[in-house]
Structures are given as C-alpha cells and as structure tokens.
C-alpha cells in the first residue's frame, strides 16, 4: 500500500506542479501588492526558486574582454538566414537551437512591477511571442533547465546565495524608505519563476528538459551530439566548450531575428591559443570549480612576465592576455598541468585544476592537458549512479519525469537525498513572518517519508535528507539534516489522493500558517481541474463533505466573487458549481 502511495505521488507531481503554476498566476493578479511579492501562495510546494542574475555567468571579465578587445569574435548574424543555410546542408534535420533557459529568463521577464511577482499572463505572452518568432524562421527550440547542483560547485552555489541575501536586503530597505517600486537596476527575478516557466513552455508545446548534471554541460553536450545550429544563452562557458556556435540572448533583436554570435575560433586567434587550450585557460582565470582567490599570485607572475600591450586595457583584460600568453609558452601536456598544480596553493585538493579542465570535456572529446584516454568522469557517474531509493521502478519513473521537466526535487530526494531551494523575496528583519523554508519543512518531511518508504532500514528509520534551503540566520556552512516524518492520512482525505494531489492533502492537514483565504484559493484551484470522471467527482463530493459546509461555502464564494473568473474554463466552473450543489 505504501509503495502504491509513493508511485502515485511521483506520478501526480506533474499535476500538483501545474496547479501550483496556475495558482501563482491567479495570486499574482489578486492579492495585495506587497503581501504577494514577499510571500507568494504558489510557493507552498517548496518551489520558491530564485534565479541568479546570469548575464555575467561563466568566466569573470571574459564577456567584456571579448566584446571590447576581440571584435572579430563578435559577429552580428541573422538567425533566419543561418537556419536556411543549415537546412540546405542538413536536409534531413531541422535547424535546432538549444536554449539555456535559466540564462534567458531575465530576458523574457520584462514586467515593470517585478517586485510583486505574479505578472504571469504578461510573461506568458512574452514566451508566446518568443516562440512564434523562431517558428516563423523555421527554427526548433529545445529548452534546458538546471536540475541539480553538483558537489564540486556547491561552495560556489552557497557563496552566490549569500550574496543574493544582501541584494534582497537592499530591495526591502528601498521599499521601506521610498514606498515605491524599485527600478530595473535593482531587478531580482520573482520567486517560483523557473518552475512556472517550465510548465508554461510545455503548455506551449515546446520540448523542455531538466539536467541530471551541470546544466551548462548538458546544453553544450546536446548541441554537439545533435548537430544543433547553435546555443542561445548568456554564459561565457559556452565559449570554452568545443560545441555548437554560441548566440547571445542579451543582443537578440526578435523583430529582425538578429543577434551576436561569439566565435571561439577567432577568440583563440586573438589569444594565440588552440581550442583545446580553452578549458585550462578558463580554469586559470577562475570559474565555478577553481576559485579566484587561489589564482591571484599566479596572475601577478603572469602579468610581470607579459607587460600590458595597451594602456587602454583594464587590469582584468591585461590579466586575461597574460594568462593566455603563459599557456601558449608551456608544452601542451599533462606534465605541464601537474607542474601548474604544484605551483598553485591548492592545499590538500591537488586535483582541483585537473577536475576543472575535465569538466569542459564533452562526450567523445579528449584534452591534451589530461592523460591519454581520459574522458569526463561525470558521464560515467551519471550512468552508474546509486540511489538511496532501492525501488528501481520508482527511481526510474522519477528520473524520467525529472529529465522531461515534469517534476522538481523528487528525483534529487530519491537519488542522493539532497535538495536545495534558492533565495526568495523575504525580509530578514520581519520577525513576525518566518521564512518559507521553515514554514513548509513539516510538509516536506511528510513528502520525504512517502518517497523514501522503501529506503527504511531494518529498524524502520528513514534516510536523512540534506536540505540546502536559504533562510535568515542560516549561514549554509552545512546542510540541514531533516528527518522524514510518517504521514497518517484520515479517511476523509483519502479520496483527494485518488483524485488529484498528494501535496494538497498535506497542506490541508499540516500547514497551520496558511490563512483561510490562501487555503480556499489553493483548494479551489486544486478541485477545479478538467477531465475528471463522474466517479472522481463523486469522490470530490465526499471530500468536500469532510471539509465541512463552512469551508465549502468559502471556496465557492471565493470562486464566484473572483473578478478574473475568465481564468477558469466553463467546464471548471461547472465542476465547482456541481461540488457546491
């Protein structure tokens, strides 16, 4: 019975997440302005995911360097014309652009009232216009989202989350001081937008995938293995990977279908390097694996041995040129890499540089800076992964849904027992309102117990789940160790599980912090779903009887008084009226 419940929950996650996206849209239009922006109802399923500003992702300073000192590496191209040429040379395959979705969300989300979040209809219209423009050019889009945080990048992930906390504090200080919407210069992507975007794109018929590894790596691999026309994003790591051409989302003019294409070949020509040198070049400039603070002494030596070529260059540009000059002068071999590892203050982690270079090696590729025959070990780790969930049927189902971007966090719980939730727009000085990460932890504990039922030991104890959740007072030096809690479901709610959402049942049972208004709105959306059979509706009638007549009336009144009732289909209205009667 418990195993069936676990399977049911994993299968129903897509329905629950789609409902969350729908609730987010409604609440973004109805709730009081500031209350919504800081504490959105759609985050009740632990999906309040904040996105890092990605315009400067990758190697620090390299984007500016390429744009200002390597004009030959930046070419304005017409994507429609490129698609026609691609189709002529590859008549059997349509031109495909793989999109780094997390790097493009800032470009798609343009509403001015960003601090309140919830501008979902306007955002959805932007996505539709974006897709139509590429369809008109006969270009297929494949959207890739971040699905995991790899252990080798956990320290960098934590560092960015703590930095984001400071940005959020400044936003709240501005709101308290000026009582008005902050300008675009303080823009911070609304919580939950990544989750909503996945389901929005899927509802628009787009192919959407979620990564099992670092998303940048999977985007680059997809482009290489599928002979894609290019990669669309804003991350200089795509200049380092030896993969499809890299197009800029920031420079994209949708009306004319033109953007900047960055050429790694021309960049190498300017730097005096080979394409196979770029992974080492990126590591010696500092990236998500090799921190900049251990490289400063090395940079000073490089600059000392390579005087600046121009007084017009800033310090970072001169460092980039000096590092490139150093690499061009040493033999291209694994021995040279080992010499560098001895030179750098890597402390006990002497393989740091090795792992950094290896992380850029795509399937089927090798590097002259690594031992012969060495490929990226991450490929083998994903193929040979061991999960804390011993039930392979459940694990495989969760993995497949994860890759198809049909759920979030379920696969991470079942595979490694480790999950994360990024920053949300919460005021750390508001002591009356606890952080969402803490409020919804009891909900997650019950969900973990269902997911990890088959992983209990001989004493009946569940595996511990590691949570990297951002909330005020959490230094994030270590994950929070969370114990799953057994869920006891009353008979009055059993029908809800059969009809729709496990998560909704948990919310009704265990989340005391939701206001009655919030819960009514959430339940109303959960129950008003198309495609229910007569038997399911009968089950919902039993459920509403269990909720009590007062709650039923509140749900109905909330629905009927909704000034934006057009969000519901006629069939959904009939379902809710049927339940009330």
**Residues 274-286, mean pLDDT to the nearest whole number:** 97
Q: Which stretches of 65-198 are assigned E, i.e. beta strand?
A: 74-78, 96-100, 140-145
How many CB atoms lie under 10 A from the CB of residue 275? 13
Q: Cβ neighbours of residue 138 under 8 Å, at least 6 residues apart?
A: 80, 83, 84, 87, 94, 95
Q: Which of 76-80, 190-194, 524-528 has the highest mean pLDDT?
A: 76-80
Lowest mean pLDDT among 169-183, 235-249, 498-512, 543-557: 543-557
CA distance 530 to 533: 9
Q: Cβ neighbours of residue 342 under 8 Å, at least 6 residues apart?
A: none
| The Cα angle at residue 113 between residues 563 and 118, in degrees rounded to 5 | 50
pLDDT in tens, 235-277: 999 999 999 999 999 999 999 999 999 999 999 999 999 999 9
User: Which residue would you say has higher pLDDT here, 57 or 230?
Assistant: 230
**Hey, is 231 helix, strand or coil?**
strand
Q: How far are the Cα atoms of 63, 125, 521 from residue 247, in angstroms, in the given order?
A: 13, 23, 42
pLDDT of residue 372: 86
User: CATH number of the domain at 58-148+180-265, please?
Assistant: 3.40.50.1010
Closest CA to 425 of 146, 34, 104, 57: 34
Lowest mean pLDDT among 81-90, 212-221, 549-558: 549-558
Element of type H or E holding 466: strand 465-469
CA distance 98 to 101: 9
Chain centre distance of CA 450: 25
Task: Read off the pLDDT band of 564 (50, 70, 90).
Answer: very low
Lowest mean pLDDT among 64-73, 212-221, 554-563, 571-580: 554-563
Task: Read off the pLDDT band of 347 (50, 70, 90).
Answer: confident
Give yes or no for residue 547 having a pLDDT over 90.
no
Q: Which residues pair with 233 in a beta bridge?
A: 248
User: Which residue would you say has higher pLDDT here, 519 or 230?
Assistant: 230
Read off the pTM. 0.79
Lowest mean pLDDT among 86-100, 305-319, 411-425: 305-319
pLDDT in tens, 373-398: 777 655 555 555 678 999 999 999 99
User: Which residue would you say has higher pLDDT here, 544 or 296?
Assistant: 296
Q: Cβ neighbours of residue 331 under 8 Å, at least 6 residues apart?
A: none
- Return the domain boundaries, the chain: 58-148+180-265, 272-381
pLDDT of residue 185: 87
pLDDT of residue 538: 63
User: Which residue would you say has higher pLDDT here, 205 or 56?
Assistant: 205
pLDDT of residue 20: 41
pLDDT of residue 191: 82
Give the chain's largest Cα–Cα span: 84
**Hey, is 143 helix, strand or coil?**
strand
pLDDT of residue 479: 97
Lowest mean pLDDT among 52-56, 147-151, 223-227, 490-494: 52-56
pLDDT in tens, 485-497: 987 766 655 555 5
Lowest mean pLDDT among 78-82, 175-179, 244-248, 557-561: 557-561
Task: Read off the pLDDT band of 581 (50, 70, 90).
Answer: very low
CA distance 66 to 54: 17
pLDDT in tens, 112-129: 888 877 688 899 999 999
Dihedrals phi, psi of 213, to nearest 5 degrees = -130, -165
pLDDT of residue 234: 95
What mean pLDDT, rounded, does the chain reach?
A: 81
**Hey, is 482 helix, strand or coil?**
strand
pLDDT of residue 387: 87
Q: Cβ neighbours of residue 408 under 8 Å, at least 6 residues apart?
A: 17, 47, 147, 195, 198, 210, 402
Lowest mean pLDDT among 310-319, 532-541, 561-570: 561-570
CA distance 449 to 485: 6
pLDDT of residue 224: 96
């Amino acid at each position: 019975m418990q195993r069936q419940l676990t399977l049911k929950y994993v299968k129903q996650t897509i329905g629950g997440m789609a409902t969350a996206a729908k609730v987010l849209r409604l609440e973004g239009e109805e709730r009081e302005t500031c209350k919504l922006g800081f504490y959105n109802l759609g985050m009740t399923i632990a999906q309040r995911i904040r996105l890092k500003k990605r315009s400067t992702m990758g190697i620090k300073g390299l984007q500016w360097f390429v744009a200002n000192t390597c004009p030959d590496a930046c070419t304005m191209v017409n994507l429609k014309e490129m698609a026609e040429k691609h189709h002529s040379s590859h008549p059997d395959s349509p031109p495909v652009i793989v999109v780094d979705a997390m790097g493009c969300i800032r470009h798609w989300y343009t509403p001015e009232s960003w601090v309140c979040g919830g501008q979902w209809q306007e955002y959805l219209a932007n996505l539709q216009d974006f897709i139509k423009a590429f369809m008109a050019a006969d270009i297929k889009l494949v959207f890739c989202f971040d699905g995991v945080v790899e252990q080798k990048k956990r320290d960098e992930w934590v560092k960015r989350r703590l930095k984001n906390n400071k940005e959020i504090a400044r936003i709240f200080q501005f709101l308290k001081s000026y009582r008005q919407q902050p300008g675009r210069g303080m823009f911070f992507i609304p919580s939950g937008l990544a989750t909503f975007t996945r389901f929005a794109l899927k509802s628009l018929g787009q192919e959407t995938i979620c990564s099992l590894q670092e998303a940048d790596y999977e985007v680059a691999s997809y482009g290489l293995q599928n002979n894609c026309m290019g990669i669309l994003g804003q991350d200089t790591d795509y200049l380092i990977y030896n993969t499809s051409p890299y197009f800029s989302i920031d420079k994209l003019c949708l009306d004319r279908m033109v953007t900047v294409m960055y050429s790694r070949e021309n960049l190498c020509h300017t730097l005096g390097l080979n394409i196979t040198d770029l992974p080492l070049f990126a590591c010696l400039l500092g990236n998500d694996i090799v921190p900049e603070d251990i490289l400063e002494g090395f940079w000073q030596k490089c600059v000392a041995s390579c005087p600046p070529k121009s007084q017009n260059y800033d310090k970072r540009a001169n460092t980039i040129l000096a590092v490139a000059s150093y690499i061009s002068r040493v033999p291209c071999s694994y021995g040279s890499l080992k010499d560098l590892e001895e030179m750098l203050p890597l402390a006990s982690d002497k393989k740091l540089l090795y792992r950094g270079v290896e992380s850029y090696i795509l399937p089927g590729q090798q590097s002259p800076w690594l031992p012969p025959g060495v490929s990226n070990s991450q490929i083998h780790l994903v193929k040979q992964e061991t999960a804390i969930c011993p039930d392979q049927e459940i694990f495989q189902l969760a993995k497949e849904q994860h890759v198809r971007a049909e759920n979030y966090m379920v696969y991470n719980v079942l595979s490694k027992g480790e999950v994360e939730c990024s920053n949300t727009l919460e005021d750390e000085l508001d002591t009356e309102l606890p952080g969402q990460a803490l409020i919804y932890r009891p909900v997650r504990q019950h969900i973990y117990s269902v997911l990890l039922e088959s992983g209990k030991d001989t004493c009946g104890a569940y595996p511990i789940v590691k949570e990297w959740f951002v909330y005020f007072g959490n230094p994030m030096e270590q994950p929070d160790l969370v114990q799953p809690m057994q869920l006891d479901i009353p008979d009055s709610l059993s029908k809800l599980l059969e009809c729709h959402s496990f998560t909704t049942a948990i919310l009704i049972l265990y989340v005391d912090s939701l206001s009655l208004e919030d819960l009514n709105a959430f339940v109303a959306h959960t129950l008003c779903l198309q495609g229910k059979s007569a038997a399911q509706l009968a089950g919902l009638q039993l459920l509403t009887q269990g909720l009590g007549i007062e709650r039923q009336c509140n749900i109905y009144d909330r629905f009927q008084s909704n000034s934006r009732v057009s969000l519901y289909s006629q069939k959904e209205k009939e379902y809710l009226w049927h339940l009330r009667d």
